[in-house]
């Protein structure tokens, strides 16, 4: 099934200060392992690189000199695990490497269901942790209802595009997004169907948002923090809800977090709710997500929004590109089909 004899894995040699550099990463090469009883060896096909990986590069995160980790999809090449057979597709969290040893039932390892007409990349984007984050932020944290007006920041990113797709299916009213380039803004109001969008470089975020949402919003999915959060607090209606997913604006400055919103006390005056969302708490909703989305992926109503970088050796490039916002939709590394 595979001719690869060498397994490669990215490691971190030293911790970054600010934006990481390529020289911090090394590739460790070992022979492809044989499976121990109860495990299977997987050759990875797609790797996910995510904003939270940047945080894990700081003190207290990943260990130096060991393979990095991330969501991945691979194909079983050898198995001594009950229920896993050569050729099976497996989702697991041992990414940033060409081969992984997985144990069914541990660390979220699961076989990927085969849905006719659904591309593999969907399982690491709108059907993966990214899509699940969007889904539970909307349905659990925000208790989002048809007709409600929603703002999402970093709207052209993995979570942002998934939020937009799912919010539309749930009957969203006005959908407003922010992004970091004019091209992305055009895609938001174009193929992604946003009612309004703005480039956050074009002025104070609060003013841009107030203009895009002149009648206010009911709910906000925050991928950014900082000024975006402050702006959202200011346009949220009474009893508005914020699902806080990420704060990409501050991942490079964990030791000097930004002054948080100056209008934070408006949370009381407007009876707002701000709640953090960690997708690891919501694994139970995976089947629900697939039940909602798979028919629409099959019909073509929804496409997985992905930017794919080809080649394992370009994993770090893809990661940097994601940090710089070069992707639209989820950033993936493709190793093989």
Residues that bind its own copies (CB under 8 A): 225, 244-247, 250, 257, 259-265, 267-278, 281
* Token output for 112: 């990927």
Q: CA–CA distance from 241 to each of 166, 274, 318 (Å)?
A: 17, 6, 33
**For its own copies, which is the closer residue by CB, 154 or 277?**
277
Q: Are 73 and 44 in contact (CB under 8 A)?
A: yes
Kindly state the smallest distance separating residue 241's Cβ from its own copies, in Å.
Answer: 9
Considering the complex, what minimum distance in angstroms separates the CB of residue 262 from its own copies?
5
Q: Which residue from 174, 176, 188 is spatially nearest to 146, judged by alpha carbons?
A: 174
Q: CB-based burial of residue 239 (10 Å sphere; 0-12 exposed, 13-18 middle, 19+ buried)?
A: exposed
Nearer to its own copies, 190 or 257 (CB): 257
Nearer to its own copies, 82 or 257 (CB): 257
C-alpha–C-alpha distance, residues 5 and 44, integer Å = 14
Indicate the residue among 15 and 273 with the shorter CB distance to its own copies.
273
Distance from C-alpha of 333 to C-alpha of 113, rounded to nearest angstrom:
21
**Nearest approach, Cβ of 133 to its own copies (angstroms)?**
11
Q: CA 285 from chain center: how many Å?
A: 16
The secondary structure of 131-194 as a DSSP string is HHHHHHIIIIIS---TT--EEESSTTBHHHHHHHHHHHHTT-SSEEEEESSHHHHHHHHTTT--
Residue closer to its own copies, measured from CB, 238 or 313: 238
CB atoms within 10 A of CB 77: 17
Torsion of Cα atoms, 120 then 122 then 127 then 129, to 10°: 90
Q: Which of 274, 11, 249, 285 is nearest to 129 (CA)?
A: 285
Nearer to its own copies, 18 or 300 (CB): 18
Q: Which residue lies nearer to its own copies by CB, 22 or 268?
A: 268
As measured in angstroms, the least distance from the Cβ of 261 to its own copies is: 6
Q: Tell me the closest approach of the beta carbon of residue 274 to its own copies, in angstroms.
A: 5
Query: In whole angstroms, how close is the CB of 85 to its own copies at the nearest point?
Result: 37
Report in angstroms how near the CB of residue 53 gets to its own copies at its nearest. Answer: 15
d(CA 334, CA 130): 17
In angstroms, give the least distance from the CB of 164 to its own copies. Answer: 21
Taking each helix axis from N to C end, the angle separating 226-235 and 205-212, rounded to the nearest 10 degrees, works out to 40
Question: Rounded to the nearest 5 degrees, what angle is found at the Cα of 117, between the Cα atoms of 156 and 75?
Answer: 85
Nearer to its own copies, 31 or 60 (CB): 60
């Amino acid at each position: 099934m595979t001719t690869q004899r060498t397994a490669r894995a990215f490691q971190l040699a030293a911790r970054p200060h600010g934006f990481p550099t390529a020289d911090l990463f090394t590739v460790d090469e070992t022979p492809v392992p044989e499976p121990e009883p109860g495990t299977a060896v997987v050759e990875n096909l797609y790797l996910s690189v995510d904003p939270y990986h940047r945080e894990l590069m700081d003190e207290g995160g990943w260990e130096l000199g060991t393979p990095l980790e991330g969501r991945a999809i691979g194909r079983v090449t050898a198995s001594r695990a009950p229920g896993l057979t050569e050729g099976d597709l497996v989702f697991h969290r041992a990414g940033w490497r060409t081969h992984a040893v997985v144990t069914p039932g541990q660390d979220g390892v699961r076989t990927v269901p085969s849905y006719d007409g659904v591309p593999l990349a969907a399982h690491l984007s709108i059907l993966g942790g990214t899509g699940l984050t969007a889904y539970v932020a909307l349905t659990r944290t925000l208790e989002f209802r048809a007709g409600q007006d929603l703002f999402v920041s970093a709207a052209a990113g993995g979570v942002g595009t998934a939020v937009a797709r799912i919010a539309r299916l749930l009957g969203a009213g006005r959908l407003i997004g922010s992004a970091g380039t004019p091209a992305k803004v055009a895609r938001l109001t174009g193929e992604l169907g946003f009612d309004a969008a703005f480039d956050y470089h074009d002025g104070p975020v609060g003013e841009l948002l107030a203009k895009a949402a002149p009648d206010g919003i009911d709910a906000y999915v925050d991928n950014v923090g900082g000024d975006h959060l402050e702006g959202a607090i200011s346009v949220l209606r009474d009893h508005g809800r914020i699902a806080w997913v990420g704060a990409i604006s501050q991942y490079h400055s964990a030791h000097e977090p930004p002054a948080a919103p100056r209008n934070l006390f408006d949370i009381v005056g407007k009876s707002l709710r701000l709640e953090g969302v960690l997708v690891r708490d919501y694994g139970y909703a995976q089947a629900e997500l697939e039940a909602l989305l798979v028919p629409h992926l099959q019909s073509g109503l929804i496409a997985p929004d992905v930017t794919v970088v080809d080649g394992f050796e370009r994993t770090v490039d893809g990661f940097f590109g994601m940090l710089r916002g070069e992707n639209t939709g989820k950033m993936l590394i493709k190793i093989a089909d």
